[in-house]
């Protein structure tokens, strides 16, 4: 049945329009559209913000919901998180992974996320996490597009058999090749691991997404290797560098040269403000560095920068509900993106920008495009970020797949009892 959405404020505009959804696509957009002839429904969105689907470019679905298992991360550092996870990996089963990932993907869909890229730890001779995530990829087909990254959490060369496991994981269905050069045993191994990732990706025609320089060590310099390999092999557009937090600690002369080379390479950059705001700076005794990549400089250089969530309740980050708007909210603070246009841009950093990195539809809401969209219970992008507003409605292929009835709050004062919406009257 056709659906006419009235009074939708499309992202980047400030006046309401009507959107006609027919046959799974957007059939018309305009002011006061006439109702279609055939059987149809009409829903008035009352001036709510409508965006393209949210895209999650970086999460570890194999680890979600494992916080505290088998023990807590007492120091809160990345490295203790990796050690705790290695213990938990011993008891993984494909069903255990699938059950946890299925739960969080359902949460993500409720927030409007319709494409997800998940890293999957392949440092396991039985590749149990991959088996579990392949099962949920199948289950969510047509609803949430799930890309799987072969991710060597313990290192390609630091883990016995790591290189072979990477190849097997790619052969067994990973869409993307990952890496962790800053965690390899030596700098030389780190460089070799990046080259191995590029070799595999070329051999199997896969995309690349490397955890790169996720450390406060200003000597961690593997992003330059990624940029160089991308340039030399002509792989622009197919390569993403994730985390890259060491960039926040580089001297200005080096950073200047590096940003230029990243630009030449056209790397997609993914920053993960939730995890890295708590993981980095753990060895500083004050002032504590923020430990994040140079988001504003990368955006100013014209690069595609997207925001990732990274973790939901795992050894690295005990919080999270899977909502990219929480990541965007923290980005506004941690990255000081509080200017009016920066606040608006945060919405692009969780929708169209990650879509480009993943190579999924990033064309926005347009006539003839897919009827995949998200309605925020907010009149503007800034209000959506400020209130981390619920998703009123989520549509995929013309079908409503999630709805949230926002809470109502009433307050009683001597002036009487009234409802508050946390919007400027």
- Write out the catalytic residue numbers: 214
323 binds Fe ion (CB under 5 A): no
**Angle at CA of residue 113, ends 106 and 50, nearest 5°:** 125
Question: Does the protein bind ligand 17E through residue 198 (CB under 6 A)?
Answer: no
The answer to whether 310 contacts Fe ion (rule: CB under 5 A) is yes
Residues 6 or more apart in contact with residue 33 via CB below 8 angstroms: 4, 18, 20
**Cβ closer to ligand 17E: 60 or 238?**
60
Alpha-carbon distances, residue 79 vs 216, 244, 249, 289, 367 (angstroms): 12, 16, 18, 17, 48
Q: Which is nearer to Fe ion, 184 or 310 (CB)?
A: 310
Stretch that binds Fe ion, among 81-89, 306-314, 365-373, 374-382 (CB under 5 A): 306-314
Shortest distance, position 63 Cβ to ligand 17E, whole Å? 7
Find which of Fe ion, ligand 17E, none residue 323 binds, CB within 5 to 8 Å per kind.
none
Sheet-wide strand order for 399-403: 25-30, 17-22, 2-10, 40-51, 373-376, 391-396, 399-403
**Which uninterrupted H or E stretch holds 398?**
none
Instruction: Show the tokens assigned to 332.
Output: 């506004």
State the binding string over 313-352 for ligand 17E (x if CB under 6 A, else -). Answer: ---x------------------------------------
Nearer of residues 175 and 310 to ligand 17E, judged by Cβ: 310
Contact between 222 and ligand 17E (CB under 6 A)? no
Q: Does 78 bind ligand 17E (CB under 6 A)?
A: yes
Name the minimum Å distance from CB 153 to ligand 17E. Answer: 6
* Per-residue CA distances from 114 to 354, 395, 411 (Å): 11, 9, 36
Helices (H), 16-122: 78-89, 94-110
**Binding-site partner at residue 214 among ligand 17E, Fe ion, none, CB < 5 to 8 Å by type:** ligand 17E
- For ligand 17E, which is the closer residue by CB, 279 or 347? 279
For 225-249, give the secondary structure using H, E and C: HHHHHHHHHCCCCCEEEEECHHHHH
Task: Report how many residues bind Fe ion under the rule CB under 5 A.
Answer: 1
Give whichever of 213 and 310 is closer to Fe ion, judged by the CB atom.
310
- Cβ-Cβ contacts under 8 Å for 414 (sequence gap 6 or more): none
- DSSP structural state of residue 176: E
Residues in the chain: 425
Q: Which is nearer to ligand 17E, 82 or 374 (CB)?
A: 82
SS3 per residue for 265-298: HCCEEEECHHHHHHHCCCCCCCCCCCCCCCHHHH
- Distance, in Å, from the CA atom of 310 to the CA atom of 104, rounded to the nearest integer, reads 12
Residue nearest to ligand 17E (CB): 316
Nearest approach in angstroms of CB 275 to ligand 17E is 5
d(C-alpha 355, C-alpha 343), whole Å: 19
Please report where in the chains the tokens 């999650």 appear, as a residue. Answer: 56
- Residue 60 as a binder of ligand 17E (CB under 6 A): the answer is yes
* Beta strand ranges found along 122-236 (DSSP E): 145-151, 176-177, 207-212
How far, in Å, CA of 64 to CA of 105, rounded? 10
Return the one option of ligand 17E, Fe ion, none that residue 216 interacts with (CB less than 5 to 8 A, by type): none
> How many residues of this chain interact with ligand 17E, rule: CB under 6 A?
11
Using rule CB under 6 A, residue 310 touches ligand 17E? yes
Query: To the nearest whole angstrom, how small is the minimum distance from the Cβ of residue 26 to ligand 17E?
Result: 36
Q: Which is nearer to ligand 17E, 242 or 382 (CB)?
A: 242
In the complex, the smallest distance separating the C-beta of residue 82 from ligand 17E, rounded to whole angstroms, is 6
Q: Please say which residue, 151 or 392, places its beta carbon nearer to Fe ion.
A: 151
Which residues 140-159 are close enough to bind ligand 17E by CB under 6 A?
Answer: 153
In the list 213, 214, 342, 377, the residue contacting ligand 17E (rule: CB under 6 A) is: 214
Interacting stretch for ligand 17E, rule CB under 6 A, among 99-107, 161-169, 308-316, 321-329? 308-316
CB of 314 to Fe ion, least distance (A): 10
Decide if residue 211 touches ligand 17E (CB under 6 A): yes
> Could you count the other beta carbons within 10 Å of the beta carbon of residue 41?
12
Handedness of CA 138, 140, 143, 148 (dihedral sign): negative
Q: Does 311 bind ligand 17E (CB under 6 A)?
A: yes
**Residues at the interface with Fe ion (CB under 5 A):** 310
**Residues at the interface with ligand 17E (CB under 6 A):** 60, 78, 82, 153, 180, 211, 214, 275, 310-311, 316
């Amino acid at each position: 049945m056709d659906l006419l959405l009235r009074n939708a404020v499309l992202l980047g505009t400030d006046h309401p329009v009507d959107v006609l959804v027919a046959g799974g696509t957007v059939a018309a957009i305009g002011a006061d559209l006439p109702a279609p002839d055939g059987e149809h429904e009409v829903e008035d969105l009352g001036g709510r913000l409508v965006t393209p689907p949210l895209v999650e470019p970086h999460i570890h679905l194999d680890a979600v919901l494992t916080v505290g298992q088998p023990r807590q991360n007492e120091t809160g550092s990345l490295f203790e998180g990796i050690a705790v996870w290695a213990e938990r990996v011993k008891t993984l089963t494909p069903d255990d992974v699938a059950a946890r990932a299925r739960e969080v993907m359902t949460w993500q869909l409720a927030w409007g996320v319709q494409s997800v890229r998940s890293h999957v730890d392949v440092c396991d001779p039985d590749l149990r996490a991959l088996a579990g995530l392949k099962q949920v990829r199948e289950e969510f087909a047509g609803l949430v597009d799930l890309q799987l990254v072969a991710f060597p959490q313990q290192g390609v060369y630091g883990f016995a058999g790591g290189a072979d496991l990477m190849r097997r994981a790619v052969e067994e269905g990973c869409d993307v090749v990952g890496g962790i050069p800053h965690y390899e045993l030596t700098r030389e191994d780190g460089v070799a691991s990046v080259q191995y990732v590029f070799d595999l990706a070329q051999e199997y025609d896969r995309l690349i997404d490397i955890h790169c320089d996720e450390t406060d060590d200003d000597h961690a310099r593997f992003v330059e290797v990624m940029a160089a390999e991308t340039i030399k092999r002509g792989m622009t557009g197919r390569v993403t560098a994730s985390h890259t937090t060491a960039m926040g600690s580089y001297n200005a002369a080096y950073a200047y040269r590096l940003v230029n080379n990243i630009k030449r390479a056209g790397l997609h950059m993914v920053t993960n403000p939730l995890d890295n705001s708590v993981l980095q700076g753990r060895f500083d005794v004050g002032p504590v560095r923020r430990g994040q990549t140079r988001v504003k400089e990368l955006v100013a250089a014209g690069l595609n920068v997207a925001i990732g969530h990274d973790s939901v309740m795992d050894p690295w980050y005990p919080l999270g509900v899977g909502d990219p708007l929480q990541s965007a909210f923290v980005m506004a603070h941690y990255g000081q993106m509080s200017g009016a246009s920066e606040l608006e841009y945060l919405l692009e950093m969780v929708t169209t920008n990650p879509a480009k990195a993943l190579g999924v539809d990033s064309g926005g809401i347009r006539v003839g495009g897919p009827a995949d969209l998200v309605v925020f219970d907010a009149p503007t992008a800034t209000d959506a970020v400020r209130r981390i507003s619920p998703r009123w409605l989520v549509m995929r292929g013309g079908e409503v797949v999630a709805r949230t009835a926002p809470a109502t709050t009433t307050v009683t004062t001597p002036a009487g009892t009234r409802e508050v919406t946390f919007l400027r009257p």
